Amino acid sequence: MNTSFKKFKETLIEGLLMISGTVTSLTVLLIVFFLFSEGIGVFSESPVEAGYSIALNKANTVTALSAEQVKNIYDKKITNWQDAGGKNEAIIAFRMDDIDTYYTEDELGSSFEHLPEKINELIEKNPGIIAFVSDKYKAKEFNGKIITVKNINPKSFLGGEQWFPTAEPAAQLGALPLILGTLWVSFCAIILALPLGLATAIYMAEIANDKVRNVMKPVIELLAGIPSVVYGFFGLVVIVPLIQDVFNLPVGETALSGSIILGIMALPTIITISEDALRTTPKAMKEASLALGATNWQTIYKVIIPYSVSGISAAAILGIGRAVGETMAVLMVTGNASVIPHTILEPVRTIPATIAAELGEAPQGGMHFKALFALGCILFIITLIINLSVEFISAKRK
């Protein structure tokens, strides 16, 4: 009976473990599916705000414009239809707010009851006009031509240099500054953190005595438990003013500030994994090196570090992964400027900071909302590549 009960108990535990693993795996897959299904939706949305249209005079030969062309027209960078594929004719950019330039209040009516027909009349009279109009003020017998604003495609999304998701008349969704800002800050953080982390790991694994190691290890691991907002506050109060004074900058919120903070946050990961890798070096290899006349330092950099290089590389890549996904600390100290960075002393904006700052303001299901999910897809792919790199490097053995 005891044997039967033990078998039943083992079977029950195995079943619970299988259910737990299945539920966890399905949950992860569903999250990834939801992320990509929402993110891909941005490429099927019109960049023009819902409820509005772009209208031209019927004589205009232009049938479609890109979101960038619309923005350039309203920014006065394109002033002739010839530059947009039309006739040699000056462009007149019209918004609803400009109506009082063309008509008086009496002509529009006390309750703007004549507004639809006046917009209709204005578009009909001006061959070079481009009008950004609300659909509710379009006349029933509309005399203009509604043109198509091309959807955002993956190439323009990944390679675009302007991120203005709420711009009117057409949203500008270029993620390149955010991608470069994320990579720039993360890799600079590792460049700063890796030498310091590796030096600390070597000291703890090979030089420090047990008393010092037993004090240092918990203190270093404690750094991983400090909330990121605390790091951000420290950077905002200490690091940002220091960088501003040292480099004589107008503002101290730069990529360098974010890199320093992320470097500090990545240290526990780098130190802990590197130390574990260094301590796995077989004792026989160390003794053989010393027996051949090598000094302790020669043994460290000619035997121990080469043997542990895969573990150290994994530590560096995991440190990058820690930095890539960080949100609050970066949001507070990098300046949040969505421009392509050229030096480390310029403000930047990262993907996680953009999602955190804008998701609460984006209408659910709208283009801005889906664009933020598309950024999440990019971040997921970057993190996946990093994790796969760790698995590949960790699997290598001399």
C-beta of residue 68 within 8 angstroms of C-beta of residue 161: no
Q: Does 164 fall in a domain?
A: no
Q: Does 11 fall in a domain?
A: no
Banded model confidence at residue 260, pLDDT cuts 50, 70, 90: very high
End-to-end Cα separation, the chain, in angstroms: 52
Q: Does 200 fall in a domain?
A: yes
**Domain match, 146 and 191 both:** no
What value does the mean pLDDT take over residues 35-57? 89
State how far Cα 79 lies from the chain centre. 34
**Domain match, 209 and 141 both:** no
**Domain match, 242 and 389 both:** yes
**Cis (ω within 30 of 0) for the bond into 282?**
no
Q: Does 157 fall in a domain?
A: no
C-beta of residue 140 within 8 angstroms of C-beta of residue 119: no
Q: Enter the tokens of residue 152.
A: 């955002």
Domain boundary residue, one of 113, 134, 150: 150
Cβ within 8 Å of residue 88, ≥6 positions away: 80, 81, 82
In angstroms, the CA 342 to CA 361 distance is: 29
**Domain match, 144 and 286 both:** no
**Domain match, 71 and 191 both:** no
Between 212 and 391, the more confident residue is 212
Q: Does 188 fall in a domain?
A: yes
Cβ within 8 Å of residue 282, ≥6 positions away: none
Q: Does 97 fall in a domain?
A: yes
**Domain match, 205 and 294 both:** yes
- CA 28-34-40 angle, to 5 degrees, is 130
pLDDT value at position 394? 64
Neighbours of 271 (CB within 10 A): 29
**Domain match, 320 and 358 both:** yes
State how far Cα 90 lies from the chain centre. 39
Domains held by the chain: number: 2
Which domain, by its residues, includes 337?
176-395
Global confidence as pTM: 0.86
**Domain match, 189 and 146 both:** no
**Domain match, 141 and 252 both:** no
pLDDT value at position 397? 52
Banded model confidence at residue 398, pLDDT cuts 50, 70, 90: very low
Cβ within 8 Å of residue 386, ≥6 positions away: 317, 318, 320, 321, 324
Q: Quick check: 1 pLDDT over 70?
A: no
* pLDDT tens-digit series, residues 197-207: 999 999 998 88
Neighbours of 383 (CB within 10 A): 14
In angstroms, the CA 327 to CA 335 distance is: 13
**Domain match, 227 and 369 both:** yes
**Residue 2 is which amino acid?**
N
CATH number, domain of 65, equals: 3.40.190.10
Task: At 149, give phi and psi (nearest 5°).
Answer: -100, 120
**Domain match, 131 and 231 both:** no
Task: At 107, give phi and psi (nearest 5°).
Answer: -70, -35
DSSP codes of every residue in 337-362: --S--SSTTS-B--HHHHHHHHTTTS
CATH number, domain of 325, equals: 1.10.3720.10
C-alpha distance from residue 91 to each of 34, 64, 126, 142, 338 (Å): 43, 15, 9, 20, 29
* pLDDT tens-digit series, residues 278-332: 888 888 888 888 888 888 888 888 888 888 888 888 888 888 887 788 888 888 9
**Residue 104 is which amino acid?**
T
Task: Reduce the DSSP state of residue 367 to 3 states and report it.
Answer: helix
**Domain match, 146 and 262 both:** no
* pLDDT tens-digit series, residues 81-116: 999 888 899 999 999 888 888 888 888 888 888 888
Q: Does 103 fall in a domain?
A: yes
Put residue 130 in one of left, alpha, beta given phi > 0 → left and psi -120 to 50 → alpha: beta
* pLDDT tens-digit series, residues 164-196: 998 888 899 999 999 999 999 988 998 999 899
The alpha helices in the chain, defined as continuous H runs, are 2-40, 67-74, 99-102, 105-108, 115-125, 154-159, 176-202, 210-223, 228-234, 240-246, 255-279, 283-291, 296-299, 305-307, 309-324, 328-333, 351-358, 367-395
pLDDT value at position 238? 93
In angstroms, the CA 311 to CA 309 distance is: 5
Q: Does 371 fall in a domain?
A: yes
In angstroms, the CA 167 to CA 236 distance is: 30
Domain boundary residue, one of 115, 150, 185: 150
Strand 92-95 to strand 145-146: parallel, antiparallel, or no bridges (unpaired)? unpaired
Q: Which of 326, 172, 206, 168 is nearest to 258 (CA)?
A: 326
Query: Mean of the per-residue pLDDT values for the chain?
Result: 88
